[in-house]
Structure 1
Amino acid sequence: MSNQGGDVTYTINEGASIVLHASSLHASAYQWYKDGVKIVDAINKDYTATAAGMYSVVAFNAEGCPSEVSDGVKIIVKPDDPPVNLPDTVVDLAVTIASSNLHAAPGDSYTYVLVADNKSPITGTNVQVSYVIPENLVYLPQPNSGDLIKYNIATRTLTWNISQIKENDPAKLVITVKVLAPGMVQSIVNIKGKQIDPILANNVDQTIQQVYPLVITNVFTPNGDGVNDTFVIPGLETYSDTELTIINRWGNVVYQKTNYKNDWDGSGLVEGTYFYVLRAKNKAGVWDTYKGYLTLLRTRI
Protein backbone atom coordinates (compact mmCIF):
# COMPACT_ATOMS: atom_id res chain seq x y z
CA MET A 1 0.00 0.00 0.00
CA SER A 2 1.25 3.49 -0.78
CA ASN A 3 0.08 6.98 0.28
CA GLN A 4 0.76 9.81 -2.16
CA GLY A 5 -0.92 13.28 -1.90
CA GLY A 6 -3.59 12.04 0.54
CA ASP A 7 -4.71 9.24 -1.74
CA VAL A 8 -4.29 5.61 -0.66
CA THR A 9 -3.68 2.81 -3.11
CA TYR A 10 -4.61 -0.83 -2.68
CA THR A 11 -3.91 -3.69 -5.07
CA ILE A 12 -6.20 -6.70 -5.10
CA ASN A 13 -6.33 -9.82 -7.26
CA GLU A 14 -8.98 -10.20 -9.92
CA GLY A 15 -12.12 -11.63 -8.35
CA ALA A 16 -11.15 -10.43 -4.87
CA SER A 17 -12.69 -7.53 -2.93
CA ILE A 18 -11.74 -4.94 -0.33
CA VAL A 19 -13.93 -3.18 2.28
CA LEU A 20 -13.61 0.61 2.38
CA HIS A 21 -14.52 2.46 5.61
CA ALA A 22 -15.77 6.06 5.91
CA SER A 23 -13.87 7.88 8.69
CA SER A 24 -16.73 10.11 9.85
CA LEU A 25 -18.00 8.94 13.25
CA HIS A 26 -21.28 10.84 13.66
CA ALA A 27 -22.73 10.98 10.15
CA SER A 28 -26.31 9.96 9.54
CA ALA A 29 -25.79 8.86 5.91
CA TYR A 30 -23.12 8.30 3.31
CA GLN A 31 -22.68 8.30 -0.43
CA TRP A 32 -19.83 6.50 -2.16
CA TYR A 33 -18.40 7.56 -5.52
CA LYS A 34 -16.24 5.74 -8.06
CA ASP A 35 -14.19 7.91 -10.38
CA GLY A 36 -16.37 10.83 -9.36
CA VAL A 37 -19.61 9.07 -10.28
CA LYS A 38 -22.20 8.27 -7.65
CA ILE A 39 -22.50 4.55 -6.92
CA VAL A 40 -26.16 3.58 -6.75
CA ASP A 41 -27.27 2.24 -3.34
CA ALA A 42 -23.75 2.69 -1.88
CA ILE A 43 -25.05 4.62 1.13
CA ASN A 44 -23.56 2.80 4.11
CA LYS A 45 -20.45 3.59 6.11
CA ASP A 46 -18.66 0.58 4.60
CA TYR A 47 -18.44 -0.20 0.92
CA THR A 48 -17.10 -3.42 -0.62
CA ALA A 49 -15.12 -2.61 -3.75
CA THR A 50 -14.36 -5.23 -6.39
CA ALA A 51 -13.50 -3.09 -9.43
CA ALA A 52 -10.52 -0.89 -10.19
CA GLY A 53 -10.99 2.86 -9.78
CA MET A 54 -10.71 5.87 -7.49
CA TYR A 55 -13.19 5.69 -4.62
CA SER A 56 -14.37 8.51 -2.36
CA VAL A 57 -17.22 9.12 0.07
CA VAL A 58 -19.34 12.02 1.27
CA ALA A 59 -20.89 11.96 4.77
CA PHE A 60 -24.21 13.67 5.70
CA ASN A 61 -25.17 14.93 9.16
CA ALA A 62 -28.63 14.75 10.65
CA GLU A 63 -29.71 17.90 8.85
CA GLY A 64 -28.59 16.44 5.52
CA CYS A 65 -25.62 18.69 5.09
CA PRO A 66 -22.78 17.00 3.18
CA SER A 67 -19.15 16.88 4.21
CA GLU A 68 -16.28 17.54 1.88
CA VAL A 69 -15.40 14.71 -0.43
CA SER A 70 -12.96 12.39 1.29
CA ASP A 71 -9.45 11.67 0.08
CA GLY A 72 -9.50 9.13 -2.68
CA VAL A 73 -8.74 5.45 -2.32
CA LYS A 74 -7.32 3.99 -5.49
CA ILE A 75 -8.03 0.34 -6.16
CA ILE A 76 -5.85 -1.54 -8.63
CA VAL A 77 -7.03 -4.96 -9.74
CA LYS A 78 -4.25 -7.34 -10.64
CA PRO A 79 -5.30 -9.80 -13.35
CA ASP A 80 -5.15 -13.45 -12.56
CA ASP A 81 -1.91 -15.06 -13.65
CA PRO A 82 -2.39 -16.84 -16.97
CA PRO A 83 -2.79 -20.61 -16.71
CA VAL A 84 0.54 -22.11 -15.98
CA ASN A 85 1.62 -24.02 -19.01
CA LEU A 86 4.26 -26.50 -18.03
CA PRO A 87 5.61 -27.66 -21.34
CA ASP A 88 8.69 -29.00 -19.60
CA THR A 89 6.49 -31.65 -18.01
CA VAL A 90 5.09 -32.99 -21.28
CA VAL A 91 7.53 -34.79 -23.59
CA ASP A 92 6.63 -37.24 -26.35
CA LEU A 93 9.29 -39.96 -26.34
CA ALA A 94 9.45 -42.72 -28.94
CA VAL A 95 11.50 -45.90 -29.36
CA THR A 96 12.15 -48.39 -32.17
CA ILE A 97 14.04 -51.67 -32.49
CA ALA A 98 15.28 -53.37 -35.64
CA SER A 99 17.33 -56.49 -36.36
CA SER A 100 20.41 -56.31 -38.55
CA ASN A 101 20.14 -59.93 -39.70
CA LEU A 102 17.33 -61.13 -41.94
CA HIS A 103 18.55 -64.71 -42.16
CA ALA A 104 20.02 -66.06 -38.93
CA ALA A 105 20.95 -69.62 -38.06
CA PRO A 106 21.44 -71.17 -34.63
CA GLY A 107 24.74 -70.02 -33.15
CA ASP A 108 24.92 -66.87 -35.28
CA SER A 109 25.65 -63.50 -33.73
CA TYR A 110 23.81 -60.45 -34.96
CA THR A 111 22.82 -57.02 -33.73
CA TYR A 112 19.73 -55.09 -32.75
CA VAL A 113 19.57 -51.34 -33.30
CA LEU A 114 17.61 -49.40 -30.65
CA VAL A 115 16.68 -45.78 -31.40
CA ALA A 116 15.31 -43.40 -28.75
CA ASP A 117 13.75 -40.16 -30.03
CA ASN A 118 11.94 -37.07 -28.79
CA LYS A 119 8.99 -35.80 -30.84
CA SER A 120 8.36 -32.63 -28.79
CA PRO A 121 10.18 -29.26 -28.54
CA ILE A 122 10.97 -29.72 -24.86
CA THR A 123 14.07 -31.68 -23.91
CA GLY A 124 13.32 -35.04 -22.30
CA THR A 125 15.40 -35.96 -19.27
CA ASN A 126 16.18 -39.08 -17.25
CA VAL A 127 15.21 -41.22 -20.24
CA GLN A 128 15.35 -44.99 -19.82
CA VAL A 129 14.99 -47.68 -22.48
CA SER A 130 14.36 -51.26 -21.33
CA TYR A 131 14.80 -54.45 -23.34
CA VAL A 132 14.20 -57.91 -21.88
CA ILE A 133 16.53 -60.27 -23.75
CA PRO A 134 14.47 -63.22 -25.10
CA GLU A 135 15.27 -66.67 -23.73
CA ASN A 136 16.56 -67.83 -27.11
CA LEU A 137 19.29 -65.16 -27.12
CA VAL A 138 22.53 -64.58 -25.25
CA TYR A 139 23.50 -60.95 -24.68
CA LEU A 140 27.10 -60.20 -25.66
CA PRO A 141 28.27 -57.06 -23.82
CA GLN A 142 30.49 -54.79 -25.84
CA PRO A 143 33.67 -53.20 -24.43
CA ASN A 144 33.52 -49.57 -23.39
CA SER A 145 29.75 -49.59 -23.03
CA GLY A 146 30.17 -47.47 -19.88
CA ASP A 147 27.65 -46.85 -17.14
CA LEU A 148 24.84 -46.03 -19.57
CA ILE A 149 24.19 -49.70 -20.26
CA LYS A 150 23.20 -52.03 -17.43
CA TYR A 151 22.31 -55.69 -17.71
CA ASN A 152 20.53 -57.66 -15.00
CA ILE A 153 21.36 -61.33 -15.51
CA ALA A 154 18.61 -62.52 -13.18
CA THR A 155 15.80 -60.69 -14.99
CA ARG A 156 17.55 -60.67 -18.40
CA THR A 157 16.79 -56.94 -18.59
CA LEU A 158 19.05 -54.53 -20.45
CA THR A 159 18.62 -50.91 -19.36
CA TRP A 160 19.89 -48.00 -21.43
CA ASN A 161 20.04 -44.72 -19.50
CA ILE A 162 20.06 -41.43 -21.41
CA SER A 163 20.44 -38.18 -19.48
CA GLN A 164 18.53 -36.10 -22.04
CA ILE A 165 17.14 -36.19 -25.57
CA LYS A 166 16.42 -33.01 -27.52
CA GLU A 167 13.77 -32.66 -30.19
CA ASN A 168 14.51 -34.72 -33.32
CA ASP A 169 17.98 -35.60 -32.03
CA PRO A 170 17.66 -39.38 -31.65
CA ALA A 171 20.09 -41.54 -29.73
CA LYS A 172 21.11 -44.93 -31.10
CA LEU A 173 22.34 -48.07 -29.38
CA VAL A 174 23.62 -51.20 -31.10
CA ILE A 175 23.64 -54.38 -29.03
CA THR A 176 25.02 -57.77 -30.02
CA VAL A 177 23.35 -61.11 -29.28
CA LYS A 178 23.90 -64.77 -30.10
CA VAL A 179 21.00 -67.02 -30.98
CA LEU A 180 20.76 -70.47 -29.40
CA ALA A 181 18.17 -72.43 -31.34
CA PRO A 182 15.81 -72.23 -34.31
CA GLY A 183 12.49 -70.50 -34.01
CA MET A 184 10.89 -67.08 -33.83
CA VAL A 185 12.54 -64.48 -31.60
CA GLN A 186 10.26 -61.65 -30.49
CA SER A 187 12.03 -58.59 -29.09
CA ILE A 188 10.16 -55.78 -27.30
CA VAL A 189 11.54 -52.45 -26.07
CA ASN A 190 10.01 -49.73 -23.88
CA ILE A 191 10.93 -46.12 -23.21
CA LYS A 192 10.05 -43.71 -20.40
CA GLY A 193 11.32 -40.41 -19.01
CA LYS A 194 10.96 -38.00 -16.13
CA GLN A 195 8.25 -35.96 -17.85
CA ILE A 196 4.65 -36.88 -18.61
CA ASP A 197 4.34 -38.53 -22.02
CA PRO A 198 1.11 -37.59 -23.85
CA ILE A 199 1.42 -40.31 -26.52
CA LEU A 200 2.05 -43.78 -25.11
CA ALA A 201 1.56 -45.67 -28.37
CA ASN A 202 5.13 -44.97 -29.48
CA ASN A 203 6.65 -45.84 -26.11
CA VAL A 204 6.90 -49.50 -27.11
CA ASP A 205 8.12 -51.26 -30.23
CA GLN A 206 8.84 -54.82 -31.27
CA THR A 207 10.50 -56.82 -34.02
CA ILE A 208 10.45 -60.48 -35.02
CA GLN A 209 13.66 -62.30 -35.91
CA GLN A 210 13.31 -65.69 -37.55
CA VAL A 211 16.08 -68.18 -36.79
CA TYR A 212 16.13 -70.77 -39.50
CA PRO A 213 16.75 -74.46 -38.78
CA LEU A 214 18.45 -76.89 -41.11
CA VAL A 215 16.23 -77.77 -44.06
CA ILE A 216 16.40 -81.53 -44.54
CA THR A 217 15.18 -83.08 -47.80
CA ASN A 218 12.87 -86.08 -47.58
CA VAL A 219 13.86 -87.68 -50.90
CA PHE A 220 17.23 -88.72 -52.31
CA THR A 221 17.99 -90.84 -55.40
CA PRO A 222 21.27 -92.82 -55.25
CA ASN A 223 21.00 -94.14 -58.81
CA GLY A 224 24.42 -93.17 -60.13
CA ASP A 225 23.33 -90.29 -62.34
CA GLY A 226 25.41 -87.83 -60.38
CA VAL A 227 22.38 -85.92 -59.16
CA ASN A 228 21.15 -86.26 -55.57
CA ASP A 229 23.12 -89.49 -55.17
CA THR A 230 23.92 -88.88 -51.49
CA PHE A 231 21.86 -87.70 -48.56
CA VAL A 232 22.88 -84.05 -48.44
CA ILE A 233 21.81 -81.68 -45.68
CA PRO A 234 22.56 -78.07 -46.75
CA GLY A 235 24.26 -76.00 -44.05
CA LEU A 236 25.35 -78.99 -42.00
CA GLU A 237 28.99 -77.91 -42.34
CA THR A 238 28.28 -74.93 -40.08
CA TYR A 239 27.76 -77.30 -37.15
CA SER A 240 30.86 -78.37 -35.20
CA ASP A 241 29.59 -81.85 -34.24
CA THR A 242 26.88 -84.05 -35.74
CA GLU A 243 25.35 -87.49 -35.20
CA LEU A 244 23.18 -89.06 -37.90
CA THR A 245 21.12 -92.23 -37.39
CA ILE A 246 19.00 -93.91 -40.10
CA ILE A 247 16.29 -96.36 -39.03
CA ASN A 248 14.16 -98.64 -41.18
CA ARG A 249 10.42 -99.11 -40.83
CA TRP A 250 10.93 -101.98 -38.36
CA GLY A 251 12.95 -99.84 -35.99
CA ASN A 252 16.36 -101.23 -36.88
CA VAL A 253 19.37 -98.91 -37.16
CA VAL A 254 20.73 -99.30 -40.72
CA TYR A 255 23.22 -96.43 -40.70
CA GLN A 256 24.92 -94.38 -38.03
CA LYS A 257 27.63 -91.77 -38.35
CA THR A 258 29.37 -89.26 -36.11
CA ASN A 259 30.41 -86.02 -37.81
CA TYR A 260 28.41 -86.84 -40.92
CA LYS A 261 29.88 -85.41 -44.16
CA ASN A 262 26.83 -85.55 -46.47
CA ASP A 263 28.21 -88.76 -48.07
CA TRP A 264 25.71 -91.54 -47.27
CA ASP A 265 24.45 -93.17 -50.48
CA GLY A 266 22.15 -95.81 -49.00
CA SER A 267 24.49 -98.69 -49.95
CA GLY A 268 22.98 -102.11 -49.30
CA LEU A 269 19.48 -100.79 -48.74
CA VAL A 270 16.40 -101.29 -50.84
CA GLU A 271 14.15 -98.53 -52.02
CA GLY A 272 11.62 -97.38 -49.51
CA THR A 273 10.93 -95.08 -46.58
CA TYR A 274 13.42 -94.63 -43.76
CA PHE A 275 13.53 -92.45 -40.70
CA TYR A 276 16.37 -90.20 -39.56
CA VAL A 277 17.49 -88.68 -36.29
CA LEU A 278 20.05 -85.90 -36.61
CA ARG A 279 21.75 -84.25 -33.66
CA ALA A 280 23.87 -81.21 -34.48
CA LYS A 281 25.77 -78.91 -32.14
CA ASN A 282 25.32 -75.33 -33.30
CA LYS A 283 27.69 -72.40 -32.93
CA ALA A 284 26.26 -71.60 -29.53
CA GLY A 285 27.26 -75.05 -28.27
CA VAL A 286 23.65 -76.22 -28.11
CA TRP A 287 22.59 -79.59 -29.57
CA ASP A 288 19.69 -79.28 -32.01
CA THR A 289 17.72 -82.44 -32.77
CA TYR A 290 15.91 -83.07 -36.06
CA LYS A 291 13.64 -86.05 -36.73
CA GLY A 292 11.73 -87.05 -39.84
CA TYR A 293 11.43 -89.47 -42.71
CA LEU A 294 13.14 -89.76 -46.09
CA THR A 295 12.43 -91.76 -49.19
CA LEU A 296 15.24 -93.65 -50.94
CA LEU A 297 14.68 -94.12 -54.68
CA ARG A 298 17.04 -95.93 -57.07
CA THR A 299 14.83 -95.95 -60.16
CA ARG A 300 16.04 -93.47 -62.74
CA ILE A 301 13.46 -90.84 -63.48
Structure 2
Amino acid sequence: MIKRHLYIIAFGIIQFITISSSGQMAMPDYTCTGQTRQYYVSPSLASGSTYTWWIDGTVQTGFTSNEFIHTWNSAGTFLLEVQERSADGCPGPKLSGLAFVNPLPEILVSPSDSMICDGECVTITVGNPGALTWGQWGYDLFVEPDAGITGNIVDSIYTSPANLCDTLYNNGKEIHRVAYRFVPVTVNDDGVKYCEGKEVKITVWVVPGFRCREVFLEIPEAFSPNGDGINDVWNITGKESWPDIEVTIYNRWGQAVWKSGRGYPVPWDGRGSGRELPVDSYHYVIELHNGIKTIMGNVTVVR
Protein backbone atom coordinates (compact mmCIF):
# COMPACT_ATOMS: atom_id res chain seq x y z
CA MET A 1 0.00 0.00 0.00
CA ILE A 2 1.40 3.41 -0.99
CA LYS A 3 1.92 5.49 2.13
CA ARG A 4 3.72 8.62 0.99
CA HIS A 5 4.10 10.73 -2.18
CA LEU A 6 6.17 13.77 -3.18
CA TYR A 7 4.36 16.49 -5.13
CA ILE A 8 5.65 19.35 -7.28
CA ILE A 9 3.61 22.53 -7.86
CA ALA A 10 4.92 24.50 -10.81
CA PHE A 11 3.57 26.95 -13.37
CA GLY A 12 0.09 26.82 -11.85
CA ILE A 13 -0.17 23.03 -12.30
CA ILE A 14 0.35 20.59 -9.48
CA GLN A 15 2.33 17.51 -10.49
CA PHE A 16 3.72 14.79 -8.34
CA ILE A 17 6.56 12.32 -8.37
CA THR A 18 6.23 9.18 -6.27
CA ILE A 19 9.16 8.46 -4.01
CA SER A 20 9.44 5.00 -5.50
CA SER A 21 9.12 6.08 -9.13
CA SER A 22 10.42 8.80 -11.45
CA GLY A 23 7.23 8.98 -13.48
CA GLN A 24 5.06 12.12 -13.32
CA MET A 25 1.28 12.49 -13.25
CA ALA A 26 -0.99 15.53 -13.12
CA MET A 27 -3.10 16.47 -10.13
CA PRO A 28 -5.62 15.96 -8.59
CA ASP A 29 -4.27 13.77 -5.81
CA TYR A 30 -6.09 10.55 -4.89
CA THR A 31 -5.58 9.21 -1.40
CA CYS A 32 -7.31 7.71 1.64
CA THR A 33 -7.78 8.69 5.26
CA GLY A 34 -4.78 7.96 7.41
CA GLN A 35 -2.30 8.40 4.57
CA THR A 36 0.46 11.00 4.79
CA ARG A 37 1.41 13.04 1.70
CA GLN A 38 4.39 15.31 1.09
CA TYR A 39 3.83 18.24 -1.28
CA TYR A 40 6.60 20.36 -2.80
CA VAL A 41 6.55 23.63 -4.73
CA SER A 42 9.50 24.63 -6.94
CA PRO A 43 11.09 27.73 -5.34
CA SER A 44 12.03 30.90 -7.22
CA LEU A 45 15.65 31.70 -7.98
CA ALA A 46 15.77 34.32 -5.23
CA SER A 47 16.52 33.09 -1.71
CA GLY A 48 14.69 33.92 1.50
CA SER A 49 11.14 33.25 0.31
CA THR A 50 8.44 32.01 2.70
CA TYR A 51 5.35 30.03 1.79
CA THR A 52 1.78 29.84 2.98
CA TRP A 53 -0.25 26.64 2.59
CA TRP A 54 -4.06 26.41 2.77
CA ILE A 55 -6.54 23.55 2.84
CA ASP A 56 -10.04 24.73 1.94
CA GLY A 57 -9.03 28.28 2.81
CA THR A 58 -7.57 27.44 6.23
CA VAL A 59 -3.93 28.35 6.75
CA GLN A 60 -1.80 25.36 7.72
CA THR A 61 0.28 26.72 10.58
CA GLY A 62 3.83 25.55 11.05
CA PHE A 63 4.56 25.21 7.32
CA THR A 64 6.48 28.13 5.83
CA SER A 65 8.85 26.32 3.50
CA ASN A 66 8.26 25.04 -0.02
CA GLU A 67 7.42 21.60 1.43
CA PHE A 68 4.14 20.63 3.06
CA ILE A 69 3.44 17.32 4.82
CA HIS A 70 -0.13 16.44 5.69
CA THR A 71 -2.00 13.40 7.00
CA TRP A 72 -5.54 13.29 5.67
CA ASN A 73 -7.80 12.33 8.59
CA SER A 74 -11.21 12.85 7.00
CA ALA A 75 -12.77 11.86 3.70
CA GLY A 76 -13.93 14.32 1.05
CA THR A 77 -12.68 16.65 -1.66
CA PHE A 78 -10.22 19.33 -0.52
CA LEU A 79 -8.64 22.38 -2.17
CA LEU A 80 -4.90 22.60 -1.52
CA GLU A 81 -3.30 26.01 -2.18
CA VAL A 82 0.18 27.49 -1.79
CA GLN A 83 1.63 30.97 -2.25
CA GLU A 84 5.24 32.13 -2.21
CA ARG A 85 6.22 35.46 -0.67
CA SER A 86 9.67 36.85 -1.47
CA ALA A 87 12.12 38.10 1.13
CA ASP A 88 11.08 41.71 0.39
CA GLY A 89 7.38 40.87 0.93
CA CYS A 90 6.19 40.54 -2.68
CA PRO A 91 3.52 37.80 -3.07
CA GLY A 92 3.62 35.38 -5.97
CA PRO A 93 0.64 33.71 -7.65
CA LYS A 94 -1.49 31.36 -5.57
CA LEU A 95 -1.25 27.84 -6.98
CA SER A 96 -3.90 25.22 -6.28
CA GLY A 97 -4.99 21.64 -6.82
CA LEU A 98 -7.59 19.19 -5.50
CA ALA A 99 -7.14 16.23 -3.16
CA PHE A 100 -9.77 13.50 -3.29
CA VAL A 101 -9.72 11.51 -0.05
CA ASN A 102 -11.56 8.22 0.38
CA PRO A 103 -12.49 6.72 3.72
CA LEU A 104 -10.54 3.55 4.41
CA PRO A 105 -12.41 0.73 2.67
CA GLU A 106 -14.59 -1.51 4.82
CA ILE A 107 -16.21 -4.87 4.27
CA LEU A 108 -19.26 -6.68 5.69
CA VAL A 109 -18.98 -10.47 5.81
CA SER A 110 -21.69 -12.86 6.99
CA PRO A 111 -21.52 -16.69 6.67
CA SER A 112 -24.70 -18.74 6.43
CA ASP A 113 -23.35 -21.08 9.11
CA SER A 114 -20.23 -21.50 11.21
CA MET A 115 -20.45 -25.30 11.26
CA ILE A 116 -21.44 -27.56 8.38
CA CYS A 117 -21.33 -31.22 7.46
CA ASP A 118 -18.93 -32.83 5.01
CA GLY A 119 -20.01 -32.00 1.45
CA GLU A 120 -22.25 -29.08 2.38
CA CYS A 121 -21.97 -25.54 1.05
CA VAL A 122 -21.40 -22.49 3.22
CA THR A 123 -22.69 -19.26 1.69
CA ILE A 124 -20.71 -16.13 2.57
CA THR A 125 -22.45 -12.82 1.96
CA VAL A 126 -19.99 -10.02 1.18
CA GLY A 127 -20.98 -6.36 1.08
CA ASN A 128 -19.49 -2.89 0.77
CA PRO A 129 -20.97 -0.65 3.50
CA GLY A 130 -19.59 2.71 2.35
CA ALA A 131 -19.40 5.07 -0.62
CA LEU A 132 -16.11 6.12 -2.25
CA THR A 133 -15.01 9.52 -3.50
CA TRP A 134 -12.85 7.95 -6.20
CA GLY A 135 -11.72 4.56 -7.50
CA GLN A 136 -13.28 1.15 -7.09
CA TRP A 137 -13.94 -0.95 -4.00
CA GLY A 138 -12.66 -4.51 -3.87
CA TYR A 139 -11.16 -7.09 -1.56
CA ASP A 140 -8.45 -9.70 -1.35
CA LEU A 141 -9.60 -13.12 -0.14
CA PHE A 142 -7.22 -15.54 1.54
CA VAL A 143 -8.47 -19.08 2.20
CA GLU A 144 -6.65 -21.05 4.91
CA PRO A 145 -7.99 -24.62 5.35
CA ASP A 146 -6.76 -27.16 7.88
CA ALA A 147 -5.08 -30.27 6.51
CA GLY A 148 -7.74 -32.60 5.12
CA ILE A 149 -10.20 -29.83 4.17
CA THR A 150 -10.87 -29.15 0.49
CA GLY A 151 -13.19 -26.65 -1.17
CA ASN A 152 -13.83 -24.84 -4.44
CA ILE A 153 -12.85 -21.28 -3.38
CA VAL A 154 -9.18 -20.28 -3.50
CA ASP A 155 -7.20 -17.10 -2.86
CA SER A 156 -8.40 -14.40 -5.24
CA ILE A 157 -9.09 -10.68 -5.79
CA TYR A 158 -12.69 -9.49 -6.10
CA THR A 159 -13.87 -6.08 -7.32
CA SER A 160 -17.56 -6.17 -6.46
CA PRO A 161 -19.85 -7.47 -3.71
CA ALA A 162 -20.94 -11.05 -4.24
CA ASN A 163 -22.23 -14.09 -2.42
CA LEU A 164 -19.63 -16.85 -2.29
CA CYS A 165 -20.61 -20.50 -2.00
CA ASP A 166 -17.86 -22.86 -0.89
CA THR A 167 -18.60 -26.59 -0.89
CA LEU A 168 -16.32 -28.08 1.75
CA TYR A 169 -15.16 -31.65 2.25
CA ASN A 170 -13.59 -33.08 5.39
CA ASN A 171 -11.44 -36.04 4.42
CA GLY A 172 -10.53 -36.88 8.02
CA LYS A 173 -12.30 -38.27 11.07
CA GLU A 174 -12.09 -35.18 13.28
CA ILE A 175 -13.74 -31.76 13.05
CA HIS A 176 -11.52 -29.36 11.10
CA ARG A 177 -11.83 -25.76 10.09
CA VAL A 178 -11.20 -23.36 7.24
CA ALA A 179 -10.48 -19.67 7.81
CA TYR A 180 -11.39 -16.93 5.33
CA ARG A 181 -9.56 -13.59 5.56
CA PHE A 182 -11.13 -10.63 3.75
CA VAL A 183 -9.02 -7.50 3.21
CA PRO A 184 -10.95 -4.55 1.68
CA VAL A 185 -9.00 -2.36 -0.74
CA THR A 186 -9.44 0.69 -2.96
CA VAL A 187 -8.25 0.27 -6.56
CA ASN A 188 -7.60 3.08 -9.04
CA ASP A 189 -8.61 3.08 -12.71
CA ASP A 190 -5.36 1.33 -13.65
CA GLY A 191 -6.03 -1.53 -11.25
CA VAL A 192 -3.41 -0.41 -8.73
CA LYS A 193 -4.31 -0.91 -5.06
CA TYR A 194 -3.98 2.36 -3.14
CA CYS A 195 -5.65 1.85 0.22
CA GLU A 196 -6.17 -1.16 2.46
CA GLY A 197 -8.80 -1.41 5.20
CA LYS A 198 -9.18 -3.57 8.28
CA GLU A 199 -9.11 -7.32 7.75
CA VAL A 200 -12.21 -9.37 8.60
CA LYS A 201 -11.77 -13.05 9.41
CA ILE A 202 -14.39 -15.79 9.70
CA THR A 203 -14.00 -19.47 10.52
CA VAL A 204 -16.16 -22.37 9.34
CA TRP A 205 -15.93 -25.79 10.98
CA VAL A 206 -16.52 -28.91 8.91
CA VAL A 207 -17.82 -32.04 10.65
CA PRO A 208 -16.93 -35.36 8.98
CA GLY A 209 -19.75 -37.55 7.79
CA PHE A 210 -22.77 -36.93 5.58
CA ARG A 211 -25.98 -35.99 7.47
CA CYS A 212 -24.11 -35.16 10.65
CA ARG A 213 -26.30 -32.38 11.89
CA GLU A 214 -27.76 -34.13 14.92
CA VAL A 215 -24.42 -33.56 16.64
CA PHE A 216 -25.08 -29.83 16.35
CA LEU A 217 -27.74 -29.95 19.06
CA GLU A 218 -26.47 -29.03 22.51
CA ILE A 219 -28.78 -30.79 24.95
CA PRO A 220 -28.35 -29.97 28.67
CA GLU A 221 -28.28 -32.91 31.06
CA ALA A 222 -30.08 -30.96 33.80
CA PHE A 223 -31.87 -27.70 34.57
CA SER A 224 -33.38 -26.05 37.66
CA PRO A 225 -36.89 -24.59 37.24
CA ASN A 226 -36.92 -22.82 40.62
CA GLY A 227 -37.74 -19.30 39.48
CA ASP A 228 -34.31 -17.78 40.12
CA GLY A 229 -33.92 -16.75 36.50
CA ILE A 230 -31.01 -19.15 35.90
CA ASN A 231 -31.58 -22.33 33.89
CA ASP A 232 -35.29 -22.20 34.61
CA VAL A 233 -36.12 -23.84 31.28
CA TRP A 234 -34.58 -26.63 29.25
CA ASN A 235 -33.00 -24.76 26.33
CA ILE A 236 -31.71 -26.82 23.40
CA THR A 237 -29.05 -24.96 21.45
CA GLY A 238 -29.10 -25.47 17.69
CA LYS A 239 -32.81 -26.19 17.38
CA GLU A 240 -33.11 -23.35 14.82
CA SER A 241 -31.50 -25.66 12.25
CA TRP A 242 -34.43 -28.04 12.63
CA PRO A 243 -37.73 -26.22 12.07
CA ASP A 244 -39.74 -29.43 12.59
CA ILE A 245 -37.99 -30.60 15.77
CA GLU A 246 -40.39 -32.13 18.29
CA VAL A 247 -39.59 -33.08 21.91
CA THR A 248 -41.45 -35.52 24.16
CA ILE A 249 -40.67 -36.01 27.87
CA TYR A 250 -41.35 -39.29 29.71
CA ASN A 251 -41.19 -40.14 33.41
CA ARG A 252 -39.38 -43.16 34.79
CA TRP A 253 -42.47 -45.30 34.23
CA GLY A 254 -42.61 -44.50 30.53
CA GLN A 255 -45.56 -42.15 30.75
CA ALA A 256 -45.46 -39.05 28.48
CA VAL A 257 -45.66 -36.00 30.78
CA TRP A 258 -44.93 -33.19 28.32
CA LYS A 259 -44.68 -32.63 24.57
CA SER A 260 -43.51 -29.61 22.61
CA GLY A 261 -44.93 -28.05 19.50
CA ARG A 262 -43.12 -28.31 16.15
CA GLY A 263 -39.89 -26.30 16.25
CA TYR A 264 -39.71 -26.48 20.09
CA PRO A 265 -41.07 -22.90 20.28
CA VAL A 266 -41.56 -22.97 24.07
CA PRO A 267 -38.83 -24.75 26.09
CA TRP A 268 -39.87 -27.22 28.76
CA ASP A 269 -40.17 -25.55 32.17
CA GLY A 270 -40.32 -28.73 34.29
CA ARG A 271 -44.10 -28.81 34.38
CA GLY A 272 -46.61 -31.33 33.10
CA SER A 273 -50.36 -30.90 32.80
CA GLY A 274 -50.01 -27.48 34.39
CA ARG A 275 -48.25 -28.59 37.58
CA GLU A 276 -44.68 -28.84 38.74
CA LEU A 277 -43.13 -32.25 38.23
CA PRO A 278 -41.04 -33.76 41.01
CA VAL A 279 -37.26 -33.66 41.11
CA ASP A 280 -36.21 -36.70 39.12
CA SER A 281 -34.51 -37.96 36.00
CA TYR A 282 -36.69 -37.89 32.87
CA HIS A 283 -36.33 -39.50 29.46
CA TYR A 284 -36.53 -37.39 26.33
CA VAL A 285 -37.19 -38.31 22.72
CA ILE A 286 -36.32 -35.78 20.02
CA GLU A 287 -37.74 -36.22 16.54
CA LEU A 288 -36.14 -34.10 13.81
CA HIS A 289 -38.64 -35.24 11.13
CA ASN A 290 -36.07 -35.21 8.33
CA GLY A 291 -35.12 -38.86 7.99
CA ILE A 292 -32.35 -38.71 10.60
CA LYS A 293 -32.53 -41.11 13.53
CA THR A 294 -34.43 -40.25 16.70
CA ILE A 295 -32.33 -38.71 19.47
CA MET A 296 -32.91 -40.10 22.99
CA GLY A 297 -31.42 -39.43 26.40
CA ASN A 298 -32.04 -38.32 29.98
CA VAL A 299 -32.46 -34.93 31.62
CA THR A 300 -32.60 -34.27 35.38
CA VAL A 301 -34.89 -31.74 37.01
CA VAL A 302 -33.34 -30.17 40.12
CA ARG A 303 -34.60 -27.37 42.37
Report the TM-score when normalising by structure 2.
0.32
Whose relative contact order is higher, 1 or 2, with alpha carbons under 8 Å and at least 6 apart?
1
Q: Give the greater-gyration-radius structure (CA).
A: 1
Report the TM-score when normalising by structure 1.
0.32
